[in-house]
């Protein structure tokens, strides 16, 4: 193969050698360069027919029988088991339902309850150590996690302290009950050290809750391998589940008997159809359920997940392509955009980079508006960040080169 003489030529060669290139055909896309899959993933082409079947046949014809015959009742656990391998979890630990925000609430309150039950550093049963009455929250978190942490702290009698993820090890103490962290920063695209931070939280006797919204489906997470306690994530970004598709909750198997949900609805009851006045929790991940699942969204997500197992896509291959795409984008931006016009706030080191590139730019809101008019869709985060998300299943290297070229033209006026 001859050496390409331009970035466009290089993009063509990279696309030709891309083992995931054929996956693009599985999605509904057009001439627009879509770099916003870190906000809303594209539509997998087979999903509309599957959803139509759920509506017309399962609901329209089978009606109430579908709770059993179409597997509606057990869909939250069944679909959780499909997400599990994508986040490095064995089956039986992930349940799907509710929004990420609601799952952050369940996980964080349950984590604090476990920590307070453990007692202080001196030992269990309200033992010798001081009571655990502090929650640490990622100071750079997506806002919803911060709002919920504030409420969870008030409800559990804890103080809340906002700490940058890198500062967490130094901020932990024998009063720390739980730490809520984002795996990838939604604004900068920075990937935090999940294994190292989880180990530090555990060494302090506290519980780690991770928000995986910007990592699941884009890079390996390794929940079981790294001993994460609890985790949550959305499914409408890199898992392409559709607008408002339900989120998931991971509860590590050995913690499940102690998971005391602050939202103990009838769907997590040991005997949901016993209609008992007293609550008794089911065993397993089902404990994370609350009320009737949103079946239409849930089954759209179920269908969307087919792209992973039908084509045997590996998360390692997705990660390798994601890094190649973001590297190439940074190179193209460096080559095309005049010096000083934008500044990348996404770390250059692979170990610290998620699947997006964020560029700081004074007039970012206006620039993104014009980029979208020119067919390059990313998004803008106030006050000054242009965000470009790279979903390896459907973004190619020619998209990357075009986006950087159109960005340079747009910045030129
Ligand atoms: C890190 C993170 N957490 C939570 C959310 C949103 O939560 P919810 O699904 O409740 O809207 C987002 C949405 O973009 C997010 O990026």
Active site residue 399: no
Q: Domain extents for the chain?
A: 7-30+314-411, 56-310
Q: What pLDDT band is residue 50 in, cutting at 50, 70 and 90? A: very high
Q: Which protein residue's CA is at the shortest distance from atom 6 of ligand 1?
A: 100
Active site residue 31: no
Q: Considering 34, 236, 380, 397, which one is annotated as catalytic?
A: 236
Out of 97, 98, 100, mutate this one to test ligand 1's pocket (max ligand atoms within 8 Å of CB): namely 100
Active site residue 236: yes
Could you read off the pLDDT of 273-332 as tens digits, one per residue? 999 999 999 999 999 999 999 999 999 999 999 999 877 899 999 999 999 999 999 999
Could you read off the pLDDT of 343-360 as tens digits, one per residue? 999 999 999 999 999 999
Q: What CA–CA distance (Å, rounded) separates 406 from 146?
A: 36
Q: What pLDDT band is residue 130 in, cutting at 50, 70 and 90? A: confident
Question: How large is the average pLDDT for residues 161-172?
Answer: 98
Q: Which ligand 1 atom sits nearest the alpha carbon of residue 103? A: 10
* Global pTM value: 0.96
Residue 5: the pLDDT is 82
Could you read off the pLDDT of 116-127 as tens digits, one per residue? 999 754 444 545
% of the chain residues with pLDDT over 90: 94
Q: What CA–CA distance (Å, rounded) separates 116 from 178?
A: 10
Ligand 1 surroundings by CB, under 6 angstroms: 99-101, 142, 144-145, 182, 186, 211, 213-214, 234, 247
Could you read off the pLDDT of 357-373 as tens digits, one per residue? 999 998 999 999 999 99
**In contact, 316 and 19? CB cutoff 8 Å:** no
Output the CA 232–ligand 1 centroid distance in Å: 10
Q: Which ligand 1 atom sits nearest the alpha carbon of residue 141? A: 1
338 has pLDDT over 80: yes
Output the CA 207–ligand 1 centroid distance in Å: 21
Active site residue 387: yes
Identical fold, 7-30+314-411 and 56-310: no
Could you read off the pLDDT of 131-159 as tens digits, one per residue? 999 999 999 999 999 999 999 999 999 99
Could you read off the pLDDT of 74-112 as tens digits, one per residue? 999 999 999 999 999 999 999 999 999 999 999 999 999
Q: What CA–CA distance (Å, rounded) separates 301 from 239?
A: 8
**In contact, 149 and 159? CB cutoff 8 Å:** no
Output the CA 141–ligand 1 centroid distance in Å: 10
Q: Which protein residue's CA is at the shortest distance from atom 14 of ligand 1?
A: 39
Q: Considering 118, 185, 211, 379, which one is annotated as catalytic?
A: 211
Sort strands 134-138 and 159-163 into parallel, antiparallel or unpaired.
Answer: parallel
Q: Domain 7-30+314-411 adopts which CATH fold?
A: 3.90.1150
Q: Considering 237, 289, 402, 405, which one is annotated as catalytic?
A: 237
Residue 129: the pLDDT is 64
47-53's contacts with Cβ under 8 Å and 24+ in sequence apart are 47/242, 47/300, 47/303, 47/304, 50/299, 50/300, 50/302, 50/303, 51/296, 51/299, 51/300, 51/303
Burial state string for 17-28 with b = 16 or more CB within 10 A and e = fewer than 16: ebebeebbebbe
Output the CA 235–ligand 1 centroid distance in Å: 10
Output the CA 237–ligand 1 centroid distance in Å: 10
Residue 2: the pLDDT is 63
Output the CA 388–ligand 1 centroid distance in Å: 17
Q: Which ligand 1 atom sits nearest the alpha carbon of residue 234? A: 9
Residue 306, judged by CB atoms within 10 A of its CB (0-12, 13-18, 19+), counts as middle
Question: How large is the average pLDDT for residues 379-405?
Answer: 97
Could you read off the pLDDT of 173-202 as tens digits, one per residue? 999 999 999 999 999 999 999 999 999 999
SS3 readout for the chain: CCCCCCHHHHHHHHHHCCCCHHHHHHECCCCCEECCCCCCCCCECCHHHHHHHHHHHHHCCCHHHHHHHCCCCCHHHHHHHHHHHHHCCCCCCEEECCCHHHHHHHHHHHHHHHHHHHCCCCCCCCCCCCCCCEEEEECCCCHHHHHHHHHHHHHHCCEEEEECHHHHHHHCCCCEEEEEEECECCCCCEECCHHHHHHHHHHCCCEEEEECCCCCCCCCCCCCCCCCCEEEECCCCCCCCCCCCCCEEEECHHHHHHCCCCCCCHHHECCHHHCCCCCCECCCHHHHCCCCCCHHHHHHHHHHCHHHHHCCCCHHHHHHHHHHHHHHHHHHHHHHCCCCCCEECCCCCHHHECCEEEEECCCHHHHHHHHHHCCEECEEECCCEEEEECCCCCCCHHHHHHHHHHHHHHHCC
Active site residue 238: no
Q: Which ligand 1 atom sits nearest the alpha carbon of residue 182? A: 1
Residue 120: the pLDDT is 56
Q: Which protein residue's CA is at the shortest distance from atom 9 of ligand 1?
A: 100
Question: How far, in whole angstroms, is CA 168 from its chain's centroid?
Answer: 21
- Which residue's entry shows tokens 């009606």? 63
- Those residues whose C-beta lies under 8 Å from the C-beta of residue 39, and which sit 6 or more positions away, are 237, 379, 387, 389
**In contact, 332 and 338? CB cutoff 8 Å:** no
* Domain 56-310 in this protein, CATH class: alpha beta
Q: Which ligand 1 atom sits nearest the alpha carbon of residue 102? A: 10
Residue 4: the pLDDT is 73
Out of 147, 216, 234, 248, mutate this one to test ligand 1's pocket (max ligand atoms within 8 Å of CB): namely 234
Could you read off the pLDDT of 75-84 as tens digits, one per residue? 999 999 999 9
């Amino acid at each position: 193969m001859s050496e390409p003489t331009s970035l466009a030529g290089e993009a063509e060669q990279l696309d030709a050698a891309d083992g995931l290139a054929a996956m693009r055909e599985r999605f509904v896309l057009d001439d627009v360069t879509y770099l916003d899959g870190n906000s809303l993933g594209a539509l997998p082409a087979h999903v509309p027919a599957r959803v139509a079947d759920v509506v017309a046949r399962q609901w329209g014809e089978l009606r109430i029988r579908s709770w059993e015959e179409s597997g509606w009742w057990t869909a939250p656990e069944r679909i959780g088991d499909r997400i599990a391998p994508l986040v490095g979890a064995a089956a039986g630990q992930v349940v799907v339902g509710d929004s990420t925000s609601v799952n952050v609430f369940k996980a964080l309150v349950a984590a604090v309850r476990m920590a307070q039950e453990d007692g202080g550093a001196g030992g269990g049963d309200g033992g010798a150590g001081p009571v655990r009455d502090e929650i640490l929250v990622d100071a750079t978190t997506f806002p919803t996690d911060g709002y919920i942490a504030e409420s969870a702290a008030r409800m559990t009698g804890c103080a809340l302290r906002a700490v940058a993820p890198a500062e967490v090890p130094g901020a932990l103490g024998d009063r720390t009950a739980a730490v809520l962290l984002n795996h990838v920063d939604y604004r900068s695209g920075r990937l935090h050290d999940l294994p190292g931070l989880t180990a530090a939280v555990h060494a302090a006797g506290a519980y780690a809750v991770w928000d995986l919204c910007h990592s699941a489906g884009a890079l390996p997470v390794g929940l079981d391998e790294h001993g994460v306690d609890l985790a949550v994530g959305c499914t409408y970004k890199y898992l392409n589940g559709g607008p408002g598709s339900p989120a998931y909750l991971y509860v590590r198997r050995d913690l499940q008997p102690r998971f005391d949900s602050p939202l103990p609805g009838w769907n997590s009851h040991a005997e949901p159809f016993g209609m008992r006045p007293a609550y008794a929790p089911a065993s397993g991940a089902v404990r994370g359920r609350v009320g009737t699942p949103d079946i239409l969204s849930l089954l759209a997500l179920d269908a969307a997940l087919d792209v992973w197992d039908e084509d045997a896509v590996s998360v390692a291959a997705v990660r390798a392509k994601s890094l190649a795409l973001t590297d190439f984008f940074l190179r193209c931006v460096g080559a095309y955009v005049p010096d000083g016009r934008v500044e990348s706030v996404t770390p250059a080191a692979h170990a610290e980079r998620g699947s997006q590139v964020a560029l700081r730019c004074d007039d970012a809101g206006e620039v993104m508006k014009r980029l979208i008019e020119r067919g390059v869709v990313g998004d803008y985060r106030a006050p000054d960040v242009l965000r470009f998300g790279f979903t390896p299943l459907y973004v190619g290297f020619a998209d990357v080169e075009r986006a950087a070229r159109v960005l340079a033209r747009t910045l030129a006026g």
